[in-house]
């Protein structure tokens, strides 16, 4: 693992958090709790699952198994989050735990073996495992948001019909070495 990799990973996690934040901002409260059917999850349930996973995986990341004894994964799928405020509190608590764990990484602990359900991972593998898992669920959150908003959805990427103009604008700029998330994250910080 390298410092460049760790910086890239942090930016990618920030980007996926931002996609969730921007989805929540577009939706009325009731849409956060809507389920397509009994077999599907609401946005609130997906957030609750992500929260449980993040707390379990990232609490004492370097020293304890990522599947904590106190985690009740099955309960994460109970549709019992009641308010936007509760949903956002869980969402932000999970991300804060993740970023604190990433911020604790140094070259001295990059070679630590991380266990998840007694299966050893390198730090890099453990991070990549979650970097694949969280966007999977955030994609579900965005998809539900798009279904709920229908024609009123504000695109979180390149809107349909704008690819050519977007690419022309990009290719009109000089070549540079930047992270693909920089423009999205910069806009949010302004």
Q: Rounded mean pLDDT of 1-16?
A: 93
Cβ(95)–Cβ(55) below 8 Å: no
E strands present in the chain: 113-116, 119-122
Higher pLDDT, 1 or 59: 59
pLDDT band, very low/low/confident/very high, at 156 (cuts 50, 70, 90): confident
pLDDT digit string, tens, across residues 12-53: 999 999 999 999 999 999 999 999 998 999 999 999 999 999
Q: Give the domain CATH number at 129.
A: 1.20.120.450
At residue 182, does pLDDT exceed 80?
no
Question: 10 is in which domain, residue-wise?
Answer: 3-189
Closest CA to 111 of 100, 99, 97, 121: 121
Radius of gyration (C-alpha) of the chain in whole angstroms: 18
At residue 55, does pLDDT exceed 70?
yes
Residue 161 has what pLDDT? 85
pLDDT digit string, tens, across residues 69-106: 999 999 999 989 999 999 999 999 999 999 999 999 99
The total number of structural domains in the chain stands at 1
In whole angstroms, give the CA distance from residue 138 to residue 46.
8
């Amino acid at each position: 693992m390298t410092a460049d990799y760790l910086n890239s990973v942090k930016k990618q996690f920030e980007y996926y958090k931002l996609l969730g934040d921007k989805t929540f901002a577009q939706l009325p409260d009731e849409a956060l709790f809507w389920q397509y059917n009994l077999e599907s999850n609401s946005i609130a349930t997906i957030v609750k699952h992500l929260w449980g996973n993040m707390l379990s995986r990232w609490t004492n990341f370097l020293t304890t198994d990522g599947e904590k004894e106190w985690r009740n994964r099955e309960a994460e799928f109970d549709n019992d989050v009641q308010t936007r405020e509760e949903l956002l509190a869980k969402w932000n608590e999970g991300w804060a735990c993740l970023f604190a764990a990433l911020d604790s990484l140094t070259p001295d602990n990059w070679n630590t073996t991380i266990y998840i359900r007694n299966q050893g991972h390198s730090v890099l593998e453990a991070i990549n495992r979650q970097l694949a898992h969280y966007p999977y669920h955030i994609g579900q959150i965005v998809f539900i948001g798009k279904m709920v908003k229908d024609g009123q959805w504000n695109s979180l990427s390149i809107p349909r019909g704008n690819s050519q103009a977007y690419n022309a604008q990009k290719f009109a700029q000089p070549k540079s070495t930047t992270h693909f998330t920089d423009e999205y994250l910069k806009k949010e910080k302004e």
